[in-house]
Amino acid sequence: MVRPKHTALLLMLVCLPALGFDVCVEAFLAMDTAYPEERLARIKRFVEGLGEEIPSGLALPKDLKMYVANRPDMRMSQAFSQASHGENVIHAVNAEGTDIVHEAGHVIFDHNLFEISQVPLVQEYREFRKQFAQSLKSNDQLELEVKALKTKPPSPERDNAIRRLESQIDDGDDFRLRLKEKYNRVVGVERAHPISCYSELFSDALAFAKFGKPRVMVDAASKRMKEQFDDKTIADIQRGRDFSADLKPEEWPDKHPYNDAHLYYGPTHSFIGQHLAGKSKAQRMQFMEVLFRAIENDMKNHLTITADGRFYTNARTTEQANRDLIDAIKLESTTSGH
Ligand SMILES: [Zn+2]
C-alpha cells in the first residue's frame, strides 16, 4: 500500500509559572511560532478562568495542553491533535477568544464524556481513540528514526534498517485502517461520527454561552467553507452555526455539507439561541450542563453498539437527530430547572 506522509511533530514546550489555579495549562507552540510570552500567558489565564466559569457538574481537565500556532497549518495541528488524543489538548490556531473557547469546548466535552459518562458507546469510542493515538505516536517515532538513518552514509546495514522500520510503519498504517473499519467510519468519511457532531454543537454553544454573541461561530463556518462552496450555499450553511437563525429540523438537508459534523445540529443551534435569549451569562453557562446531560441521554436512547461490537453509525436523518436532541434538551431543562 502507499504510505501516507505523516509529519513528525516539532514542538516547543513553553513553561509558564503556575498561577495558583486548579487547572494546569501547558502551552505547546509550533516551532515557527513567535508568540510573545505575555500574550501566551494571557491565553493561558483565559483558559484557566474558563475552568472557573463552567458549571459544577462539568469538569475541566486538570492537565490541559494547548497547541498554539500563528499560521493555520491544518496538517500540523491535526497531527498534533490526533497524536495527543486522550491527553486533553486544546488545538488553537491563531488563538484568541472565540477559537480558544470552541477548542476548549471539545476538551471539556471529551473529558466529561470519557471520565464521567457511563454510556457504553463512549467507552468503546475512547478505547478506539486511545489505540489509534498510540499507533500514530509510535509511527511518529519510527518516522523520526528513518529520517535520522537517512542522514547517514548508505550501507547495506543502514538500508536494511530503513526497510525494517518502513515495514513497521506500514504495519501501523494497516492496523489503523483495520481499527477504523472495526469501528465503522469513526474518523468518518461518508458521515460524520455522531460523537463529533455532538462535540461541535457543544463547543459552539460554549462560545455562545461565554460571549453571549449568537453569531460568534458564523465566521468560523465561512472561513472553512469559502473555497469549497458557492455564495448561496455558504450563506445557507452559515445559518447552521448561527444561534440567532430560525432553522427548523425539516429544513436541514441530510446531505453534505449540511451533515458535516460542524453543521449537523444546525437547527439545534437555532433552538438553543431561542432558549437562551435574554438569559444572563451565568444562566447560559449553567445551560452547558443541561446540554451535556441532554446529549448523554440522546446517546443512551439512540446510539448503541451492534452485537458484533461495531459502532452503530448514526442512521437517523439530520432532521430526526435534531428533533430528538431538541426534545432531550427540553426534557432536561424542565427536569433541572435551567
Ligand atoms: Zn470544533
pLDDT single digits (tens) 21-73: 344 555 555 555 566 777 777 777 887 788 889 998 887 777 777 666 655 55
Distance 163 CA to ligand 1 centre (A): 38
Q: What is d(CA 65, CA 77) in angstroms, rounded to the nearest whole number?
A: 13
Distance 101 CA to ligand 1 centre (A): 10
Distance 102 CA to ligand 1 centre (A): 6
Distance 84 CA to ligand 1 centre (A): 16
Q: What is the pLDDT of residues 246-285, one digit of tens each?
A: 999 999 998 888 888 889 999 999 999 999 999 999 999 9
Q: In this structure, what C-alpha cell is assigned to residue 308?
A: 458484533
On the question of pLDDT at 288 being above 80, the answer is yes
pLDDT band at 209; cut points 50, 70, 90: very high
Burial class (CB in 10 A: 0-12, 13-18, 19+), 5: exposed
pLDDT band at 223; cut points 50, 70, 90: low
On the question of pLDDT at 224 being above 90, the answer is no
Q: How far is CA 150 from CA 140, 159, 160, 225, in A?
A: 15, 9, 12, 39
Cα dihedral 16/65/67/172 (nearest 10): 140
pLDDT band at 96; cut points 50, 70, 90: low
CB burial of 16-53 (b: ≥16 within 10 Å; e: otherwise) equals eeeeebebebbbbbbeebebeeeebbebbebbbebbee
pLDDT band at 18; cut points 50, 70, 90: very low
On the question of pLDDT at 165 being above 80, the answer is yes
Distance 167 CA to ligand 1 centre (A): 34
What's the whole-number average pLDDT of the chain?
A: 78
Distance 105 CA to ligand 1 centre (A): 8
Distance 82 CA to ligand 1 centre (A): 14
- Give the per-residue pLDDT at 1: 37
Q: What is d(CA 82, CA 320) in angstroms, rounded to the nearest whole number?
A: 30
> Sign of the CA dihedral 280, 286, 290, 295?
positive
Distance 200 CA to ligand 1 centre (A): 5
- Give the per-residue pLDDT at 51: 82
Distance 97 CA to ligand 1 centre (A): 14
Distance 313 CA to ligand 1 centre (A): 20
Cβ pair 102, 93 in contact under 8 A = no
Distance 16 CA to ligand 1 centre (A): 26
